[in-house]
Chains A and B, each alone.
Chain A
Amino acid sequence: MSLLQVNNLVVEFPNRRGTLRALDDISFAIAPGEILGVVGESGAGKSLTGASIVGLLEPPGRVASGQILLEGRRIDNLPYEEMRHIRGRQIGAIFQDPLTSLNPLYTIGRQLIETIQTHLPVNASEARKRAISLLEDTGIPAAAERIEHYPHQFSGGMRQRVVIALALAAEPKLIVADEPTTALDVSIQAQIITLLQRICKDRGAAVMLITHDMGVIAETCDRVAVMYAGRIAEIGPVHEVINKAAHPYTAGLMAAIPDMSIDRERLNQIDGAMPRLNAIPPGCAYNPRCPKAFDRCSKERPDLLAAGATRAACWLHEAGGSV
């Protein structure tokens, strides 16, 4: 059984002029111990998917229909207090900017101990011991001293380690990591990704890794979902999606990334930009930019269809054809 199951999730933002549909019929699952990457451009709905799962949708955003199931139990309609307990205990969250995820007025020790005691039945000295061992696990040197320090006394990479320690404090089964390395330099990024991978493997936690960096996805994830304009364009094993993209958008995105191993005079560019939520074209949202669009694409919206080892929302695959 999958650990997390998202079925036909729809998230809407009602406003004065009507309702904006930010996530439109998203379905996917994460198995225990699996790392699922979610990739896409700004505004594709990556972070919103993550926020819906951890129950932190900003009002007026709301889950309009669909279900989110954690170990078979619905969590999208839980009351606030109950969800608060699941978040942290069963789902850990890591956000992009480590400085804003930590309270600048408390030492990191106090923040860790508070989190541990909220979720686990331990006394203060046990919680402190646990906090120190968590910091050691995440590679913070001299953890026993550093626990007394405030967030501003840590560098960016060290802060993100503290945030990871916080997310792991109650041994959650699922970790939602939203752009955990975007604010970091490339050498620190490699350290944090390796740490995340190791820790999840050791503890058997599943990870939903949200990022716009295809390189990070390539080295970390088992499967990847590519999002476009609030929908999943393609989902499948990471190797297949990167090397044999089935959706024209994925193919275009891959070719647009400058590659260290290939010399090209010009990068492949996808003309135009992703549509705004209030102006999503009928049919497939990608059709105005798609080089392979045909008649049907502007009329009917494709659902995810089997395409080789992956599934892609593209009419080209209806007869099992390839791009």
Chain B
Amino acid sequence: MTALVQATDLAKTFDVSAPWLNRVLEGKPRQLLHAVDGVSFEIEKGKTLALVGESGCGKSTVARLLVGLYEPTRGGLTFDNQDAHAAFKTPEGRVLRRRIQMIFQDPYASLNPRWIVEDIVGEPLKEHGIITDKAQLKARVGELLVSVGLSALDMVKYPHQFSGGQRQRISIARALATEPEFLVCDEPTSALDVSVQAQVLNIMKDLQRDRGLTYLFISHNLAVVRHVSDDVGVMYLGRLVELAPKHALFANPRHPYTRMLLDAIPKMHDTGKARTPVQGEVPNPLNPPSGCAFNPRCPHATERCRVERPQLKDFGGVRVACHAVEEGVI
């Protein structure tokens, strides 16, 4: 079976150089930020791939590349066997955009405060010319709101009249309006309280079961990722360091960075037990370490790790980019 979504060597570089005049007068160099540097993965229909990693590792840039908000510097994205980024530019690309939608992190910023819910949820329907008749539009928006656990009567309200969890449901309803097959969710619950987070995660799971949706789920919370995902990709400084089925990753993490992340999670039921804190911080992405980007923090780093960058290789269904794993050291 071929995957619905396939990213191949996806990369995005941002030019963060000083302005031209400063470069000429002060001799400042050109500076490139490799936000995403060669990421490949595939997601099968109806499955969830979760991306985890610390701030600044490029998770959100991947999300934006997948929905076409950014143009990739290198590599490409295949959606349902067609080149997505080439298609986005053509008039027919509108159909493709309809099939890929996004849910954003902050439900306070992603809804227009001056629009009522009917306009917010109905906009994609109008924009894509799916429904033009006013009465039909109202009926459809009502259906969508009911499907995310709100009431059809809520459509006359403004976003400020809802709580955070309800707002996130509105943005899910908006994303579902065009009946997409693939949803890119960028930290959809990290702005929410835990009891509300549970409501939103349950709705997302129900929708996936009922409609066969495919998700890319971005989060820094490993417990949430464990709950929602089928496969997990761990990112560090713009690259995937481990990509594995959920159970394999949590039961037997291979990459030292994955192990470190798992060790850093507080364990709820062993009260009073201290975590093993990891030393060091994520390096500046403008000036990443040579070789493996994780080598300054890695307990297994050798000379080879400082020189040669490890490639993502398959070890029995688990893909890991680590020299130590490859050499059988860990």
Contact partner of A218 (CB less than 8 A), chosen from B163, B197, B199, B271, is: B271
A271: which B residues are within 8 A, CB to CB?
199
Cβ contacts A71-85/B at 8 Å (1 or 0 each): 000000000000000
Q: Which residue in A187, A254, A256 is a CB contact (below 8 Å) of B261?
A: A187
Which of B55, B198, B201, B270 is A185 in contact with, Cβ under 8 Å?
B55
Knowing A218-B271, A219-B274 are in contact, say whether A260-B195 is a contact too (CB < 8 A).
no
Given contacts A186-B264, A187-B54, A190-B264, contact A42 B275 (CB under 8 A): no
A298 at the interface (CB under 8 A from B): no
B 184-208 contacts with A by CB, 8 A: 193-199, 201-202, 205
Q: Mark B250-288, 1 if CB is under 8 A from A, else 0.
A: 100000000011001111111111111111011000000
A197 to B266, CA, bound (A): 14
- The size of the chain A interface, using a CB distance under 8 A, is 45
Stretch among B84-92, B125-133, B222-230 lining the A interface:
B222-230
> Is B268 touching A257 in the complex (CB atoms < 8 A)?
yes
B264 in contact with A239 (CB, 8 Å): no
Residue in B closest to A212 when the chains form the complex, CB atoms? B193
B277 touches A218 (CB 8 A): no
Of A213, A254, A261, chain B has the most CB atoms within 10 Å of the CB of A261
- B16 to nearest A CB, angstroms? 16
What chain A residues lie within 8 Å of B272 (beta carbons)? 218-219, 238-239
Known: A194-B274, A194-B277, A260-B267. A270 touches B195 (CB 8 A): yes
**Complex contacts, A267 vs chain B, CB 8 Å:** 198, 201-202, 227
Contact across chains for A41 and B195 when beta carbons are under 8 A apart: yes
Convert A173-205 into 0s and 1s, putting 1 for each residue whose CB lies closer than 8 angstroms to a CB of B: 000000000000111111101100100000000
Interface pair A194/B275, CB less than 8 Å apart: yes
- Tell me whether B165 is interfacial, beta carbon within 8 Å: yes
B313 at the interface (CB under 8 A from A): no
A157 at the interface (CB under 8 A from B): yes
User: Would you call B220 an interface residue if the criterion is a C-beta within 8 Å of the partner chain's C-beta atoms?
Assistant: yes
Given A219-B266, A238-B272, A239-B271, A270 and B227 contact (CB-CB distance below 8 Å): no
Contact among A187, A252, A258, A269 for B227, CB-based, below 8 A: A258
- Chain B CB within 8 A of A290 CB: no
Contact yes or no, A256 B266, CB < 8 A = no
Inter-subunit contact A197/B278 (CB<8 Å): no
Please, which residues of chain A bring their CB within 8 A of the CB of B201? 258, 267
Q: Is the CB of A258 within 8 A of B226?
A: yes
Interface status of A1 (Cβ within 8 A of chain B): no
- A270 to B197 Cα, complex, angstroms: 10
CA distance in complex: A218, B267 (Å): 7
Say yes or no: is A17 at the interface (Cβ < 8 Å to chain B): no
Q: With A191-B277, A216-B266 in contact, do A266 and B197 touch (Cβ < 8 Å)?
A: no
A242 to B194, Cβ gap below 8 A? no
| Residues from 31 to 87 in B contacting A, C-beta threshold 8 Å | 54-55
A185 engages B220 (CB within 8 Å): yes
Contacts of B266 in A (CB 8 A): 190, 193, 213, 215-216, 218-219
Cross-chain contact B193 with A219 (CB below 8 angstroms) = no
A279 / chain B contacts, CB cutoff of 8 Å: none
Interface string of A235-249 (1 = CB under 8 A from B): 000110011000000
Check if B194 sits within 8 Å of A266, measured CB to CB.
no
Known: A186-B54, A194-B275, A266-B202. A219 touches B267 (CB 8 A): yes
25 chain-A/chain-B pairs, Cβ below 8 angstroms: A185-B282, A186-B222, A188-B281, A190-B276, A190-B278, A193-B275, A194-B274, A212-B193, A215-B267, A238-B272, A243-B271, A253-B194, A257-B198, A258-B224, A258-B226, A259-B223, A259-B269, A260-B226, A261-B267, A261-B269, A266-B205, A269-B195, A270-B199, A271-B199, A273-B165
- Which residues of A are at the interface with B, using a C-beta cutoff of 8 A? 41-42, 155-158, 185-191, 193-194, 197, 212-216, 218-219, 238-239, 242-243, 252-254, 256-261, 264-271, 273
Task: Give 16 new A-B contacts, CB below 8 A, not counting A41-B195, A187-B281, A254-B268.
Answer: A157-B281, A185-B220, A186-B265, A187-B277, A190-B277, A191-B277, A214-B268, A215-B266, A215-B267, A218-B271, A256-B197, A258-B223, A258-B227, A260-B265, A265-B205, A266-B205
